[in-house]
Amino acid sequence: MNNIRNIAIIAHVDHGKTTLVDRLLQKSGTFRENEQVDERVMDSNDIEKERGITILAKTTAINYKDYKINILDTPGHADFGGEVERIMNMVDGVLLLVDAYEGTMPQTRFVLKKALEANVKPIVLINKVDKPTARIEKVLDEVIDLFIELGATDEQLDFKTAYVSALNGTASLDPDINTQQEDYSCIYDLIINEIPAPDVNVEAPLQFQPALLDYSEYVGRIGIGRIKSGTIKENEMVSCMRLDGTIKQFRIQKLFGFFGLKRIEIKEAHAGEIVAIAGLPDISVGETVCNPGKEEALPVLRIDEPTLKMTFMTNDSPFVGRDGEFVTARKIEERLYKETQKDVSLKVETSGQDSWVVSGRGELHLSILIENLRREGYELQVSKPEVIIKEIDGIKYEPYEDVQIEVPEETVGPVIEALGLRGAKMENMTNVNNLVRLIYTIPSRGLIGFSTDFMTMTKGYGILNHTFKEYLPQESITIGERKLGVLVSMENGKATAYSIGNLEDRGIMFIEPGTEVYEGMIVGECNRENDLAVNVVKGKQLTNTRAAGSDHTVVLKRPRPLPLEYCLEYINSDELVEVTPNFIRLRKKILNTEQRKKFDSKK
C-alpha cells in the first residue's frame, strides 16, 4: 500500500478548494486530451455551481507517476462541518489552503483544529498569490500563529509550504511570485514525499467503516470510507456491526473505486483504499463492516448534532397545487426521509398531521434542502427557524457561535450596537487596512435574521463568518422577532398599480402590479411596528368626467426582492414561507383578517 496517498483539501469558504482540485485533476493527465471538463468540476449539483460553494464532500483520485492519490474536496461552510470531521478518519494528510489576502478565517481555524486533533500530516498552500493585494509573508505568520494557538506538536509545526494560484493554474515552492510555473509536479511531489502511506495491514481480517453516505436509485444507500484492514470483494458475505451493538450479515452487491470524476465498479480492494459499498439498505456512518466470525468494531465516529430546527408543512394556501407536482404529505415525507439517507446531520420527526420538525446544522443547511425540494417540484410551507435547546441536569443549554466580522471603519458603530442587543460578547477588535475585524461569541439565536440587517448597516461591504462553538447555559435575553410590522392583503385577486401607488408611503412593497395575492398574504413591510391589513387589488374608480392632469402615469418604486434565505430570516413566529417551484411567498399563519385580529388582541 506504499503507492497510495489519501489527502483532504481543507479551507475557509471561498479560499479556492474546488478550483485547486480542478487543477490537480487537469495537470495530472487524468483526463483525456479531448475530454470536455467543466470549471469547478467537483461541485456537481446546480446549487453548488450557482453559489460557488461545496455542500457535500466529494471523492476523486488521480494517478501520478506510480502513485494513486485519493483526494477529498471538503465543504468550507460551518453548516457542513460534520463532514470535515468524519473525513479526517479517511485520510493521512491534509492540504490546508489559505487565501493570500484574507489569511486565516473562522473556518480555517475550525478545519485545522479537526485535522490536528485527528493527527494527520498538514501541508500549507497559500492560494491566490497573484492578487495585487496578496500579503504572503504576513499570512504565513498568521498560519504559524494559528498552529501554535491550536496546540500543534513540534512535528505538526514543521509543515511544508507551497504557493499557488489555482485560478491561473500555477504553483511554486518559493514565495517569490516570479517563480510561479504552469506545472503542479512540485505539489504532487510534496504530497508523495510528505504525506505518509496508509498504516494498514492487508493480511488482517476486514475492517471498513463508512464515513460518508450517498444514495443511488439503483442500489440504494452507499457507504463511502477507507478500508482499515484486510480485503473486500464484490459479492462476498460480510457482517455489519451496528451502532446499537447488533450484527447484521449482508452481501456486497456493488463495490466502487474512484478515478478522476468517475465512480468505477471494481471486483476487490485492499486496506488503505477509499471505496464505496452497496448492499445494506440502512448502512450508517460509523458502523464497522467485518468478515463473518471475525467481528471487531472500530471506534464510533462522532456526528455533529443539529443546532437549528424548522417545521415543514404541506401547503394549505389558496394557491396550493398551482405549480407544484408533489403537494401531498406522503410525497413530502418520503422525500424528507430519503434526504436523511445521505445526510447524517439531518433529523426528521413527524410532529402532527401533515407537518414535520426538520433539524439541521444551520440556516444554510436547511435552506439548501428547501431549495432542492422546490426545484424538484415540491410545494410546502416552512416556519421560522428556531435553535434547539438542550436540558442537562435541569438547566437549559443553547448553542453558541464564534463570529468573525470585517467591516469598514465608518460602519463599525451600528454593528457593535446591534450585536450587543443580540447578546453577543466581544472577544477581540483589530484594524487591518481601514477595515475593523471583530471577534464575538454569540448565542446562535442572535444570528437568526441578523445577516440582512448586517448587509444594510455595512452597505454590503461587511463580511460575516460564524462557526458553532459549544452549548452554554441559556441566557435570559429576548432576541428574535422583527421590529417592523408587515402589510397583509385583505382581499384575493390581482394587485393593481393604483393600489400599490397609494400604499407606498405606508412601507416597502414586496410585489408588483399584476401579482396574484390572497387574503393573509404578506405584500410588503410596514414602516411602523404594527401589522396593517391593506387592499392591493382595488382598481381606480372610472367616471365619464375627465379631470385635467389626473391621468399622469404612476411611477412605482421597485419591489424588494425575496430570496429564500432572506424570507426564512425575515418572518416572525406567526408567519410562514410558502415555497413552490416558481414562487416564494410570505403569509400569516391565520389567513382570515378578522380571526387574526381577534388572535392578536388576545396576545
238 pLDDT tier (thresholds 50, 70, 90): very high
| Separation in Å, CA 86 to CA 72, 89, 307, 408 | 11, 6, 18, 37
- How far apart are alpha carbons 61 and 214 in whole angstroms? 17
pLDDT, mean of residues 21-45: 54
Predicted local confidence at residue 553, as pLDDT: 65
Residue 123 pLDDT > 90: yes
Query: Residue range 195-214: average pLDDT?
Result: 89
pTM over 0.85: no
**372-388: average pLDDT:** 92
Q: Are 501 and 554 in contact (CB under 8 A)?
A: yes
Q: What is the mean pLDDT of residues 499-514?
A: 92
> Does the pLDDT at position 550 exceed 60?
no
Region 29-45: what's the mean pLDDT?
44
The pLDDT confidence band at residue 207, using thresholds 50, 70 and 90, is very high
Nearest to 100 by CA among 55, 45, 63, 137: 137
Interatomic CA distance for residues 359 and 79, integer angstroms: 12
Tell me which of 580 and 31 has the higher pLDDT.
580
- Measured on CA atoms in the order 509, 510, 512, 515, is the torsion positive or negative? negative
- Average pLDDT of the chain? 85
Cell numbers representing residue 199 in the block: 498504516
Nearest to 77 by CA among 28, 43, 125: 43
Residue 39 has pLDDT above 50, yes or no: no
Let me know whether 187 and 212 are in one domain: no
Q: What cell does 444 get?
A: 446562535
Instruction: Count how many residues are written for the chain.
Output: 603
For residue 20 the three cell numbers come to 485547486
Residue 348: how many other CB atoms lie within 10 Å? 18
Q: How many CB atoms lie within 10 A of CB 95?
A: 25
pLDDT band per the 50, 70, 90 thresholds, residue 42: very low
Question: Computed from CA positions of residues 290, 293, 299, 304, in that sequence, does the dihedral angle turn out positive or negative?
Answer: positive
Its domain, for residue 158, covers 4-194
Asked if the structure places residue 201 within a domain, the reply is no
pLDDT of residue 73: 77
Looking at residue 41, what is its pLDDT? 40
pLDDT at 549 over 80: no
Report pLDDT digits (tens) over 346-370: 899 998 889 999 998 888 889 889 9
Structural domains counted in the chain: 5
Please classify residue 154 by burial: count the beta carbons closer than 10 Å to its beta carbon, then call 0-12 exposed, 13-18 middle and 19+ buried: exposed
Grid cell of 427 as nine digits: 472577544
Q: Identify the pLDDT of residue 105.
A: 79
Q: How far apart are CA 41 and CA 39, in angstroms?
A: 5
pLDDT digits (tens, 9 = 90+) for 127-154: 988 888 888 899 999 999 999 988 888 8
Task: For residues 505-514, give the mean pLDDT.
Answer: 93
Question: pLDDT value at position 81?
Answer: 65
The model's confidence at residue 546, banded by pLDDT at 50, 70 and 90, is: low
User: Do 250 and 142 fall into the same domain?
Assistant: no
Nearest alpha carbon to residue 505 among 521, 492, 520, 487: 487
Supply the CATH number for residue 214's domain.
Answer: 2.40.30.10
Q: How confident is the model at residue 32 (pLDDT cuts 50, 70, 90)?
A: very low
Q: List the one residue out of 51, 32, 384, 84 whose CA is nearest residue 212.
A: 84
pLDDT at 577 over 90: yes
Last residue of a domain, one of 149, 169, 194: 194
DSSP line for 21-65: HHHHHHHTT-S-TT----TTTT--SHHHHHHT---S-EEEEEEET
Q: Are residues 322 and 213 in the same domain?
A: no
Spatial separation of the C-alpha atoms in residues 200 and 2, rounded to whole Å? 10
Q: Average pLDDT of 224-232? A: 91
> Do 213 and 188 share a structural domain?
no
Which of the listed residues 449, 473, 497 is the one where a domain comes to its end? 473
Per-residue pLDDT band for 432 (boundaries 50, 70, 90) equals confident
- Report, as an integer, the average pLDDT of 234-248: 89
Query: What is the pLDDT, as a whole number, of residue 34?
Result: 40
The rounded distance, in Å, linking the Cα atoms of 415 and 454 is 7
pLDDT of residue 353: 84
Question: 105 with 223, same domain?
Answer: no
Percentage, residues of the chain above pLDDT 70: 91
In this structure, is residue 595 part of a structural domain? yes
Say whether both 423 and 491 belong to one domain. no
* Same-domain status, 524 and 466: no
**CATH number of the domain within which 134 lies:** 3.40.50.300
150 assigned to some structural domain: yes
Name the least confident of 193-202, 255-264, 514-523, 590-599.
255-264
409 in the same domain as 463: yes
Taking the C-alpha atoms of residue 503 and residue 135, their distance in angstroms, rounded to an integer, is 52
**Residue 481 lies inside a defined structural domain of this protein:** no
Q: Side chain identity at 255, as an amino acid letter?
A: L
Q: Is the distance from CB of 487 to CB of 534 less than 8 angstroms?
A: yes
Q: Which of 163, 194, 225 is the last residue of a domain?
A: 194
CB atoms within 10 A of CB 344: 20
Are 531 and 435 in a shared domain? no
Q: Are residues 468 and 537 in the same domain?
A: no
Q: 61-88 pLDDT, tens per residue?
A: 888 888 888 888 777 666 666 677 788 8
Whether residues 327 and 346 share a domain: the answer is: yes
- If phi > 0 it is left, if psi is from -120 to 50 it is alpha, else beta; for residue 422 that is alpha
